[in-house]
Amino acid sequence: MAQPVLTPQWQDADGFYEALLDAHEGLSPEQSLAFNARLILILANQIGDARLLQKSIELAKA
């Protein structure tokens, strides 16, 4: 089973963070939560592996 990569893999961490903050600008708390949910689903689709996604959920809860 594939394991989540826990070492930094960022090409432009600061740029991503800035874009993420910009995407939330002007959103209500509810819209912000909905945006985050959609983004998570899009990124999960890029991973695709159900076991890897489950392991990632477990790691995030720890």
Q: Which residues of the chain have pLDDT under 70?
A: 1
Q: Structure pTM?
A: 0.84
pLDDT tens digits, 2-18:
889 999 999 999 999 99
- Contact between 49 and 2 under an 8 Å Cβ cutoff? The reply is yes
pLDDT of residue 13: 94
Cβ 35 vs Cβ 27: under 8 Å: yes
Q: For residue 2, what pLDDT is reported?
A: 85
- Domain map (residue ranges) of the chain: 25-61
SS (H, E, C) the chain: CCCCCCCCCCCCHHHHHHHHHHHHCCCCHHHHHHHHHHHHHHHHHHHCCHHHHHHHHHHHHC
